Chain A
Amino acid sequence: MKTTQDTTPQTTRSEVVSQTKPVILLVDDDHVSLMMAEGPLMDAGFQVIQATDGLQAIEQFQKYSPDLIIMDAVMPNMDGFEAISEIRKTALGVHVPILMITGLDDLESITRAYEEGATDFLAKPVNFFILPYRMQYMLRSKETADELRSSQARLDNAQRIARLGHWEWDIASNTANWSLEVARMFGFDKRLLRGSMDSLFEKVDAQKRQAVRLDAEHAVQSAKSISLEFNIDDNRGSDVLSVRFEAEPKLDHEGNCTHMLGTIQDITESANARKEIHNLAYNDIVTGLPNRAQLRENLSNALKLAERQDVQFALLFLDLDHFKKVNDTLGHDAGDDLLMQVSRRLSSVLRDSDILSRPVDAPEYAEQAFNKDTVARIGGDEFVVLLGDIQAPEDAARVAQRIADSVSEPYNIADVEVAITTTIGISVYPSDGRDSETLMKHADVAMYHAKENGRNGFQFYSRAIHEQALSRFSMERELKLAIEENGLSLLYQPKLDMKTGLTVGVEALTRWNHPERGEISPNDFIPMAEETGLILPLGRWVLNEATRQIQKWKEKGLGEFSVAVNCSPIQFTRGNMIGDIEGALKQVDIDPSLLEIELTENLFLHNIENGIQLLDNMKQLGVQIAIDDFGTGVSSLSYLKRLPVDMLKIDRTFVEDLHRDKGDQAIVSAIVTLGHNLGLSVVAEGVEKKEQYEILQELECNEVQGYYFSYPLTVAQFEQWVLEQKGPIKQVG
């Protein structure tokens, strides 16, 4: 149909359109419809703009940005569907309400209208009396929607400014929706503001993730509010966010928690500020070490812990001898540089000492112990080292000696070589004091005593402790010397074959003949060797000596005797056991199966798989493996068949009362049967009496060892024994 009147306004909105009246864009190619609709709409207070096809509608829309649109579906040039779709693509057209006019019962058109973005539809023929009411309703809902959007936008803005987001968790469906700011913080798609609560939890940093999850679930179950702080594990590569997470339950009329409502606030800045404040308050600016305040706190924690766990700890007070001279001659910058280097050495000594000086049953222990220690700079050239957990005062002595040694190594300060020493005073909890102040004072006093006795050394506050620690400490050094300079020897206790009565091998036992103190029992020096790490060179020495002895006996024509060597778990966990055995075998020309490695079940306590791997590697070297003290460990029998071992040594406690305790007999019998069924040889040690021997024979134990046959012998004694014996079992001693 041709247009008979020009409906296209040539003016702009401000001229044509009233500022107060809402504007409707009326689009229809049928002029009759246009003419009929216009009047009622104007009567209802609308301003009407017209268009007769889709293209014109878009033009008019862009020109006047009307408040509402009435759009006919079928039109030439561009139909209503396409026009809606185009209008929706523009910024202003996203939310404008559009009423689509469709043919009666034209379901397909209605569906399509909604698909393209129509707000509502009206079927032809249009009732023009009702149309204005319809439009007023649409206008009102548009205004409500606008208001909602703008209040949503205000909320989003407020939340963005406050770095605060909110969320709601529907417990039944385990779904959640959240605000824009939450999406920003968690790096989620900003168009999809919902998902599972788990997708939020998954972003919590790994350390706290499980705890946060459990806390939240607990809050749901107990219908309680929670407040948590954690970091968001940010995979966008930017800085990690710290957030505070608050939640409160929403209850139904029965008091069940149906929803959790909560907020998440980005507190990165305040958390960083807090950290910064803490750093300033608790760290020394020059060295970065903890300062006096931090030391006081750590010391008070150490006191509480020590009291509760009934352990000792030590406080080392040290200053640098003649530090003032460095400052005066080289300047304050050089002085600061020196302090910094000293502090680095102190930290490094502490780290290394921990690994060596602490018992090593559990690998994680060293880490824990280190966390209990503190190196603090408390002013000028004064440092304090808190050793949070020591077994004995000599541990502190050891660390003090290492500190003194390390600090006295030369420094390079501004291309000048500088030498300095330190003097250390030590107080020990609880013997030197039970509170921070006393311990600090006594460590300080001890330092002054040390200075009087000549610098570059350490001194305990208590003379008795000092002497005891020094004596133990010197024993360590002497043991080290003994290992290095062949001050140890091996004794050999014969092992006899039960059937033939012949000596088939020996167990090697370490003896330390101290030049001044005489013979020192392994019970005294082996634990010390384990604590100090000296067990590693000691173990190596024993392996080397044992294999050399096998070779010597073989060369002498005395026979091929197996030598059993006891090994400490520390040699396996800390040392290179395989390398040590390999080294010992390499220096001689013997059948490797003559070397027996004795180890205890505790080796498998922590990691059975590692243990099996280790034994497999040992077996590949051809040595025999025996489980020592069998029956006393906390082992489970189930692993036994998986271990590539050759021998079980029954613990001596079962042998001791064998002849008068039915229970022990039963146990030994069981061990022998078990061993045999697994194809293992069974050895009894600590046999002291004829009756014990006879029972063991009856039980078909394979080998025996003990005072009943022979004490541990020197090489010469053993050789004599072999020559004399070479026949049926004889009693000695």
Chain B
Amino acid sequence: MNILDQSALDNIRALQRPGSPDLLGRIVELFLTDAPLGVAKVQTAIAAADLETVSITAHSLKSSASYLGATAFSQRMAGLERAARDEDLAACQQLNQGLESDCQDVVDALLQLKDKAA
């Protein structure tokens, strides 16, 4: 299965306005910076049992990821958001396993995409 859903990427490409800076490129850049930071923030918050931070951070990452077509990552974030809102720390800890590698997969795929475009 593809890490990135091509149709989501096509959607973004379709939103590109002629004469404007490359939208997909800018979104990819943004995600490459924000996603690892966000993941780190989620992990620290889980360790500190700060579920509110987990919920709000996961919510935002979920949305970005889904627009980029990073379906698995987005679904994991959705799960985290729900578990955090339900104050289920154990579920959060379980979803935390494999989070970093999930994120890494998306980052790798995005870097590949960037290379292709370059």
Residues of A within 8 A of B (CB): 1-2, 4, 29-33, 35-36, 39-40, 42-43, 74-76, 124-125, 128-129
Contact = CB atoms under 8 A, between A and B. Distances in A.
Interface of B: 11-12, 14-17, 20, 23, 26-27, 30-31, 33-34, 37-38, 56-57, 59-61, 63-64, 66-68
Given A39-B16, A39-B20, A76-B56, A32 B38 contact: no
Q: Tell which of A1, A39, A128 has the most Cβ of chain B within 10 Å.
A: A1
Nearest to B59: A74
B43 to A, nearest CB: 15
Residue of A4, A31, A40 with most partner-chain B CB within 10 A: A31
Given A39-B20, A40-B15, A124 B63 contact: yes
A31 B26 CA distance: 11
Contacts of A75: 56
Given A32-B67, A39-B15, A124-B63, A4 B30 contact: yes
A2 B37 contact: yes
Q: Which 3 A-B pairs have the closest CB atoms?
A: A32-B64, A30-B63, A39-B17
Nearest to B66: A125
A4 B56 CA distance: 18
Contacts of A32: 27, 30-31, 63-64, 67-68
A30 B33 CA distance: 13
Contact of B60 (A4, A29, A43): A29
Nearest to B17: A39
Contacts of A129: 14-15
Nearest to A37: B15
Given A35-B27, A36-B23, A125-B66, A30 B60 contact: yes
B12 A36 contact: yes
A39 B65 CA distance: 19
Contact of B67 (A2, A4, A36, A39): A36
A125 B70 CA distance: 13
A31 B30 contact: yes
B23 A39 contact: yes
A128 B34 contact: no
Contacts of B34: 1-2, 4, 31
A32 B27 CA distance: 6
Contacts of B59: 74
Contacts of B61: 1
A77 to B, nearest CB: 10
A450 to B, nearest CB: 109
A29 B27 CA distance: 14
A21 B38 CA distance: 36
Contacts of A29: 60
Contact of A125 (B33, B60, B67): B67
A42 B59 CA distance: 27
Of A30, A42, A75, the most chain B CB neighbours within 10 A belong to A30
A713 B58 CA distance: 125
B81 to A, nearest CB: 9
Nearest to B65: A32
Main secondary structure of the interface of B (DSSP, over half): helix
Given A4-B30, A30-B64, A35-B27, A43 B38 contact: no
Contacts of A2: 34, 37
Nearest to A128: B15
Contact of B38 (A1, A74, A76): A1
A36 B56 contact: no
Contacts of B67: 32-33, 36, 125
B63 to A, nearest CB: 4
Contacts of B68: 32
A212 B5 CA distance: 75
B63 A33 contact: yes
Contacts of B26: 35
Contacts of A40: 15
A124 B60 CA distance: 12
Point out which of A32, A42, A76, A124 has the most chain B C-beta atoms below 10 A from its C-beta.
A32
A74 B81 CA distance: 11
A174 to B, nearest CB: 50
Nearest to A39: B17
B75 to A, nearest CB: 13
B30 A35 contact: yes
| Max chain A C-beta neighbours (<10 A), residue from B15, B27, B38 | B15
A33 B67 CA distance: 8
A39 B12 CA distance: 11
A383 B90 CA distance: 109
Given A4-B33, A36-B12, A76-B56, A43 B63 contact: no
Of B14, B23, B56, B57, chain A has the most CB atoms within 10 Å of the CB of: B56
B23 A35 contact: yes
A30 B66 CA distance: 11
B37 A74 contact: no
A32 to B, nearest CB: 4
Contacts of A128: 11, 15
A31 B30 CA distance: 8
18 contacts: A4-B30, A30-B63, A30-B64, A31-B34, A31-B64, A32-B27, A32-B31, A32-B63, A32-B64, A32-B67, A33-B67, A36-B23, A42-B17, A43-B17, A74-B59, A125-B67, A128-B11, A129-B14
Contacts of A43: 17
B46 to A, nearest CB: 17
A441 B114 CA distance: 121
Contacts of B60: 1, 29-30
A125 to B, nearest CB: 6
A40 B67 CA distance: 15
A74 B58 CA distance: 11
A1 B17 CA distance: 25
B55 to A, nearest CB: 8
Given A36-B23, A74-B56, 19 more contacts: A1-B37, A1-B38, A31-B64, A33-B63, A35-B23, A35-B26, A35-B30, A36-B27, A39-B20, A39-B23, A40-B15, A42-B17, A74-B59, A75-B56, A76-B56, A124-B63, A128-B11, A129-B14, A129-B15
A590 to B, nearest CB: 104
A2 B59 CA distance: 14
A377 B30 CA distance: 101
A246 B57 CA distance: 65
Nearest to B55: A74
A2 B33 CA distance: 9
A30 B56 CA distance: 11
Contacts of B37: 1-2
A128 B15 CA distance: 8
A43 to B, nearest CB: 6
A129 to B, nearest CB: 7
Contacts of A76: 56
A615 B93 CA distance: 101
Contacts of B66: 124-125
A430 to B, nearest CB: 102
Nearest to B63: A30
Contacts of B11: 128
A75 B16 CA distance: 26
A129 B17 CA distance: 12
A4 B33 CA distance: 9
A75 B57 CA distance: 9
B31 to A, nearest CB: 7
A40 B17 CA distance: 8
Contacts of B14: 129
Nearest to A33: B63
A74 B85 CA distance: 12
Nearest to A29: B60
Contacts of A1: 34, 37-38, 57, 60-61, 64
